[in-house]
Structure 1
Amino acid sequence: MTSYVLTVDAGVRDLRAADHLLHELAAGLVLPEGWFGCTHLVRGDRPRVALSLALPSEPLLRATQERLTAQGHQVSDGAPDATGRAVIYPGAESLTGTLTIAELLARSAIERVTVLGTSGQPPSDVPLVTRDHVRPQWQGGELVLTAMPAVGGTLVPFEVPDPTPCCADH
C-alpha cells in the first residue's frame, strides 16, 4: 500500500499529550481502516513531539490536511523522520492482555519483535504482557516492537504506559 503522509506540529512537549492528541484528532476526522498515526521527537532549539498521519490515498490526505488546517493546526507534507513511534495502526486496539508473539504479529501491522540484549527474534510462542500499551517504531521501513524480559519467562513492551517523570522524587 502506498501511503500519503502529513505532519501536524501542535507544539506538544511530551509523548502522553501527543498520544492523547492523536486519538482526539482520529475521533474528529473519522478516518478509514488502515491508517497510521505516529509521534516523532523533534530536537533542536524548540524540542517537541510532532505527529504524522499516513493515509491510504492522496484525496484523503488533502481533505484531512484541509480539515486540520481549518481547525488551526500547523500541517505540512511528509513525515518529520523515518522512525516514528506508532500509536494508531492496524490492529492496535486488539493488542490487550497477554498474547503470544505469533498472536501479536497476526493481529496487527507489527512486522517484527526484538528483545533488548538479545539477537534475533523471540520464539513465536513466548507470551507478551501488553499492559494495553504497545508502541512499535518504524525501523528500516518495518514496524518493530522492542520488548524486554519480564517475570516468568514473559516479555513486556519496552515502553511503559505510565512512566515516572524524570526527577519525580525531587
Structure 2
Amino acid sequence: MSPYVIGVDAGVRGLREADHLLHALAAEFALPEGSFGCTHLVRGERPRVVLSFTVASEDTARRLTAMGYEVTAGPPDSTGRAVIYPGVGTLTGTVTVAEVLAGSAIDRVTVLGAPGGPPPDRRIMTRDHVRPQWREGELVLTAMPAAGGLLVPFEVPDPTPCCADH
C-alpha cells in the first residue's frame, strides 16, 4: 500500500508550536522512515498553521479525527515547509551543499540574492534547523551568506518575536 497525504488542522497559530506538534504526532503514529511532515501557513479570516503528513493508511486519519483534529485529504497547498523528511537527521553541524543534496530529500539549494545555486563544496552551518520548502514539486532549501564564507538556512531556529524590545 503506498502512502498518501493528509492535512491536519489543529488550530495552531505559530511555527514553533506546529513543529512540536508535528514531531509529537509523528512519534505517536510511528511514521515510517521516508515520511514527510510539513507545515502550511493559512491566511484569511482564521490565520493558522496546518500540518500535512504522508501516512500509510486511512486508520491514521481516523485516529487523528477521533483526537479532535480536523483532517482532510491532501495538503492545504503545494508550498509546505518541510520539518520531517528523509535525511533531516543528518543535517546537523556544518555540511556541504553536496552532502545536503546527496543525503536528504532536498532537491536544490538557493542563496538569497545570488543567481544559480552555490557550488557543491560550499559549506552550510545548519544550526540543526533545516526547513526547506516545496516549490513547483521540488524541495528547496533557501540559504543566506554568513561569516567566514559559510551559508546558513534562511529560517533561524529561534527568531526574535516582533517588537520584542518594546
Q: TM-score, normalised by structure 2?
A: 0.97
Residue in structure 1 matched with residue 131 of structure 2 by the alignment:
135
1:154 aligns with 2:156: no
- What is the Cα deviation at residue 3 of structure 1? 5.0
Q: Which amino acid aligns with 2:34?
A: G
Residue in structure 1 matched with residue 116 of structure 2 by the alignment:
120
Residue in structure 1 matched with residue 7 of structure 2 by the alignment:
7
**1:93-112 equivalent positions in 2, closer than 5 A:** 93-112=89-108
Determine if contact 1:6/1:61 at 8 Å carries over to the other structure.
Answer: no
Percent identity between the two aligned chains: 70
Cα deviation 1:80-137 (Å, max 9, x = unaligned): 0000000000010110000000011111000100000011110000000000000000
- What is the Cα deviation at residue 36 of structure 1? 0.4
**CA distance in 1: counterparts of 2:81 and 2:101, whole angstroms:** 17
Aligned-residue Cα RMSD (Å) equals: 1.0
**CA distance in 1: counterparts of 2:22 and 2:145, whole angstroms:** 29
**CA distance in 2: counterparts of 1:140 and 1:51, whole angstroms:** 19
**CA distance in 2: counterparts of 1:129 and 1:107, whole angstroms:** 15
Q: Which amino acid aligns with 1:43?
A: R
Determine if contact 2:37/2:82 at 8 Å carries over to the other structure.
Answer: yes
- Which stretch of structure 1 is more off in the superposition, 72-81 or 83-92? 72-81
**CA distance in 1: counterparts of 2:32 and 2:125, whole angstroms:** 28
Q: Which amino acid aligns with 1:16?
A: R
**CA distance in 2: counterparts of 1:96 and 1:150, whole angstroms:** 17
The number of residue pairs the alignment matches comes to 165
**CA distance in 2: counterparts of 1:113 and 1:93, whole angstroms:** 17
**CA distance in 2: counterparts of 1:61 and 1:73, whole angstroms:** 17
1:24 aligns with 2:27: no
**CA distance in 2: counterparts of 1:71 and 1:9, whole angstroms:** 12
Cα deviation 1:13-68 (Å, max 9, x = unaligned): 0000000000000110011111100000000000000000123xxxx230210121
**CA distance in 2: counterparts of 1:114 and 1:9, whole angstroms:** 30
**CA distance in 1: counterparts of 2:80 and 2:116, whole angstroms:** 22
Could you list the runs of 5+ residues in structure 1 that have no partner in the other structure? Answer: none
Residue in structure 2 matched with residue 86 of structure 1 by the alignment:
82
